[in-house]
Amino acid sequence: MNSLDDDAKLKSLLARLHAQSAAQEEGIIRWARATLPRPGTVLSDAQEAEFDRFFVDKLVALEPEKATFCYALCRALQARRIVEAGTSYGVSTLYLAAAVRDNGGGTVIATEYEPEKAKKARAHFAEAGLSQFIDLREGDLRETLKTIEGPVDFLLMDIWTPMARPTLERVVPHMRKGAIVVADNVNTFRKDYEEYFDFLTDPANGFITRTLPFDGGLEMSVKIA
């Protein structure tokens, strides 16, 4: 079974959500240019609050070609346990849950701290008939990912950049050899991902990592030791 091609209900839901996300993109770029400081700058508390206010109703969904790539990787890994940092309205989660279902069953541990987004995501999971494959943990991932029943086969990092390194620190100890981490927009936010790369390139952590030429740069890191 390849749900991305064979599940008509899922295909039409994904098309609708991707269109909804794409329609918000121009406004996000305009707002970011006008409001955010230079990349690599740590936001003040007030800036962070404004950031959260603006993004509360934005999907910021992973683009279809990147999400399809993650689906394919999860099928190749025969992934049964996946962690997703950053769920929003649940678009990428649907791809990951479809992969788990197509692999024969398992769980996607998903994380979202905006209650309204989590509510929307749950509705989308139900609409796709994929709820049983998703453990959506609501709250700050630094708390919600404290307990992970391993072994983890795949981690999708689609989160605000200050959370990237803390996510690795919580999830990597549960990853099996051969597991894969994918992180979005690493070229666009290279400076903000500095601590993330420090972790991945530290030989003690056992990764080989390369940036793939998807829009904005998609980092693929394999746990080899």
Ligand X SMILES: C[S@@+](CC[C@H](N)C(=O)[O-])C[C@H]1O[C@@H](n2cnc3c(N)ncnc32)[C@H](O)[C@@H]1O
Q: How many residues does the chain have?
A: 225
Q: Is 154 in the site for ligand X (CB under 6 A)?
A: no
Specify the stretch interacting with ligand X by CB under 6 A; choose among 37-45, 158-166, 206-214, 215-223. 158-166
**Cβ closest to ligand X, residue 113 vs residue 154:** 113
Distance, CA of 6 to CA of 1 (rounded, Å): 7
Tokens 């979005």 belong to: 184
What angle do helix axes 8-35 and 91-102 make, rounded to 10 degrees?
Answer: 150
By CB under 6 A, tell whether 89 contacts ligand X.
yes
Question: At how many degrees (to 10) do helices 45-55 and 8-35 cross?
Answer: 150
- What count of other Cβ atoms lies within 10 Å of the Cβ of residue 11? 14
Q: Footprint of ligand X on residues 182-211 (CB under 6 A)?
A: none
Which of 10, 14, 62, 74: binder of ligand X (CB under 6 A)? 62
- Is residue 13 within 8 Å of 128, Cβ to Cβ? yes
Should residue 158 be labelled a site residue for ligand X when binding is judged by CB under 6 A? yes
* Out of 61, 74, 164, 181, the residue judged to bind ligand X by CB under 6 A: 61
Which residue from 10, 14, 83, 86 is in contact with ligand X, where contact means CB under 6 A?
86
Q: Does 111 bind ligand X (CB under 6 A)?
A: yes
* Residue carrying the six token digits 């999708």: 156
* Binding span for ligand X by CB under 6 A among 36-44, 152-160, 196-204, 206-214: 152-160
Does 219 help bind ligand X (rule: CB under 6 A)? Answer: no
Q: Number of residues in contact with ligand X, rule: CB under 6 A?
A: 21
Burial of 56 (0-12, 13-18, 19+ CB in 10 A): exposed
> Quick one: which of 74, 83, 91, 157 contacts ligand X (CB under 6 A)?
91
Residue 97 binding ligand X, by CB under 6 A: no
The nearer residue to ligand X, 153 or 158, going by C-beta atoms, is 158
Residue closer to ligand X by CB (options 24, 211) is: 24
CA distance 61 to 86: 10
Output the six-digit token pair for 60: 């910021």
Q: What is the DSSP letter of 173?
A: G
Q: Which of 4, 10, 88, 155 binds ligand X (CB under 6 A)?
A: 88
- Return the number of the residue (140 or 149) whose C-beta is nearest ligand X: 140
Q: Under a CB-based contact definition with an 8 Å cutoff, are residues 43 and 37 in contact?
A: yes
Q: Which of 155, 157, 151 is nearest to 177 (CA)?
A: 151
Interface positions with ligand X (CB under 6 A): 59-62, 86-89, 91-92, 111-114, 117, 140-141, 158-160, 163
